[in-house]
Amino acid sequence: MLMQANEPLGTPTKADFKAADQTRRKNLTLLALALGTFSIGTSEFASMGLLQQFSAGLSLDLAEATHAIEAYALGVVLGGPAVTILAARLNRRQLLLALMAVFVLGNVLSAVAAGLGSFMLARFISGIPQGAYFGAGAVVASYIVGPGQGGRAFATVMAGLTVATIFGSPLATLMGQTLGWRNAYLAVAALGLLSLLALWTWVPRSRALDGGPVLQELRALNQPAVWAMVAVAALGVASIFAVYTFIGPFVTDGSKLGERWTPVALGLFGVGMTAGNALGGWLADRHPSRGLVAGFGSALVALALLATGGQSAGVLMAGLFAVGATMMMAIPAIQVRLTQAAPNAPTLMGAMNLAALNVANAIGAWAGSQAIAQGHGLLSAAWAGFGLTLAGLLLFLGVLRESRRPTRILDLELL
């Protein structure tokens, strides 16, 4: 076909403009999804940084105040699967909007709580949307990026959470220290409103995002492979929290650095998580099983390095970065494996993944504290994480062996 004489070489066509517009819309949708997880991550991790502020403000000791953090985790563990099942037929766009509205409500209630009971209830409500949001967000992201890229889709949704550990949580903590913890929660609620507006504007209205029958979601819970992967996640990822919980003491007591280095250490950990998440999404779409084994295996090396040399400031900082990066490298692969086990319930599998990670939070923090309490030294928390990740890796290798056994039997029968 001859080009018209008055059409310069390289002039964009209508098709080019249409393709560029579609790409822009896809990127805005993914940005809206990540902004929502950034808001959720900021709320979750900022509560740990605001622990001293809200405990003093509500006249609680630190042990009592930690019940509010536990209430949030309980909201995630119970709320994610429950909401996903109850809202099975709801369009994923509508579900995301409803979940973000509940998130805003929970943080407003957190800001105005008058005592421990009301504050715990508010934090429980704030945690309810998290698991279902990640599950529904992964479904929408998969629809946007196209088939065969489930790992990239989940990593995109997770990216907001990892970036929250770098910027959102420290900024919210700083705001709580300077303007008061109630204002910090109000700021998080405002961030949630911004996310709600972005989701409303940029997530497409499509029947392709409609939900399915409730029984379709429930049948996924009858799959042994699903529960096996939940156990792998709860054990293997627990080392993140065995380390993250004690970063402050690692810095000030272990490496004898000043308190001003704690935000630096937290930031390095978050940067590692963000980098590992991006690599993990790429690996999960190509070799999910290898990605998980590589993530857990390299995490064992990083944990051992941290446990044996963490008294050195340089080793500590490098070890924190490495633990965050290697563990996050495995999480998108866990999501892909869960979805492969129950392909008709991707939203529920996302919620189950987040529930497992919050169980990992509790297990890791408990194991690390027990190792320290037994007199094995501060850095023994990293060894506790090492043991948990090793258990998760061995369990996954067992799952792989069992999943391949029917194929081998069938091959022998065909011979």
User: Quick one: pLDDT band at residue 15, thresholds 50, 70, 90?
Assistant: low
Average pLDDT on 372-393 reads 91
Mean pLDDT of the chain: 84
Going by C-alpha positions, the residue among 107, 112, 115 that lies closest to residue 172 is 107
CB-based contacts of 299, cutoff 8 Å, min separation 6:
239, 322, 323, 326, 327, 330, 389
214 closest CA partner among 82, 39, 350, 378: 82
The tens digit of pLDDT for each residue in 70-83 reads: 888 888 888 888 88
Task: Show the DSSP H helices in 203-312 as ranges.
Answer: 214-220, 224-236, 238-244, 247-249, 261-286, 288-309
pLDDT band at 32 (very low <50, low <70, confident <90, very high): very high
Of 150-154, 178-182, 260-264, 312-316, give the lowest mean pLDDT range.
Answer: 150-154
Distance CA 126, CA 102 (A): 7
Contact 136, 217 (CB under 8 A): no
Q: Residue 167: left if φ>0, alpha if ψ -120 to 50, beta else—which one?
A: alpha
What pLDDT is stored for residue 156 in this prediction? 78
**Tokens describing residue 157:** 């949704």
Percent of the chain with pLDDT over 70: 91
Quote the CA–CA distance of 124 and 141 in Å, as a whole number: 27
Q: Give 293-336 pLDDT, tens digit per residue.
A: 999 999 999 999 999 998 999 999 999 999 999 998 988 888 88
Q: Which of 354, 206, 106 is CA-nearest to residue 98?
A: 106
The encoded tokens of residue 5 equal 């004489």
In this prediction, residue 375 carries a pLDDT of 86
- Cα–Cα nearest to 367, from 355, 357, 381, 378: 381
Q: What is the mean pLDDT of residues 195-215?
A: 86
For position 18, what pLDDT does the model report? Answer: 59
Rg (Cα) of the chain, in Å, rounded?
A: 22
Q: What are the two backbone dihedrals, phi and then psi, of residue 65, each rounded to the nearest 5 degrees?
A: -65, -30
pLDDT tens profile 254-295 = 888 877 787 788 888 889 988 998 888 888 888 888 889 999
Count the Cβ atoms, other than its own, within 10 Å of residue 217: 25
For residue 6, is pLDDT > 70?
no
pLDDT of residue 244: 81
On whether the CB atoms of residues 369 and 318 are closer than 8 A, the answer is no
Is the pLDDT reported for residue 409 higher than 50? no
Angle at 330 between CA 328 and CA 315, to 5 degrees: 50
The most confident of 49-53, 287-291, 338-342, 384-388, by mean pLDDT: 384-388
Query: Which segment of 246-250, 338-342, 403-407 scores lowest on mean pLDDT?
Result: 403-407
Dihedral sign for Cα 395, 356, 345, 274, please: negative
Q: Comparing 214 with 401, which gets the higher pLDDT?
A: 401
What does the alpha-carbon distance between residue 129 and residue 354 come to, in Å, rounded to a whole number?
11
Angle at 224 between CA 127 and CA 99, to 5 degrees: 20
Query: What is the rounded average pLDDT of the residues 144-151?
Result: 74
CA angle 24/283/133 to nearest 5° reads 55
Distance (Å, whole) CA 17 – CA 42? 37
Q: Tell me, what DSSP letter sits at residue 376?
A: S
The yes-or-no verdict on residue 182 having pLDDT over 60 is: yes
User: pTM, whole model, 2 decimals?
Assistant: 0.75
The pLDDT tens digits for 119-135 are 999 999 999 998 889 88
At residue 405, the pLDDT reads 63
Least confident residue range of 14-23, 34-43, 346-355: 14-23
Q: Quick one: pLDDT band at residue 410, thresholds 50, 70, 90?
A: very low
- Tell me the residue length of the chain: 415
Structure tokens given for 15: 């098709």
How far, in Å, are 242, 301, 345 from residue 315 at the CA level?
Answer: 17, 13, 43
Which residue type, as a one-letter code, is found at position 415? Answer: L
Domains plus CATH for the chain? 23-209 (1.20.1250.20), 213-415 (1.20.1250.20)
Q: Cβ atoms within 10 A of the Cβ of 353, count?
A: 27
- The type of residue at 257 is L
What's the pLDDT band for 21 if we cut at 50, 70, 90? low
The tokens describing 388, both together, are: 């948990």
> Among 7-11, 162-166, 375-379, where is mean pLDDT lowest?
7-11
Give the separation between CA 197 and CA 200, rounded to whole angstroms: 5
Mean pLDDT of 50-66: 81
* Mean pLDDT in residue range 220-243: 87
Sorted by sequence, the CB contacts under 8 Å of residue 56 that are 6+ apart come out as none
Q: How far apart are CA 178 and CA 200, in angstroms?
A: 33
Q: At what angle do helices 261-286 and 288-309 cross, to 10 degrees?
A: 160
pLDDT-based confidence at 19, cuts 50/70/90? Answer: low
Q: What proportion of the chain, given as a percentage, has pLDDT over 90?
A: 32
pLDDT number for residue 1 = 44
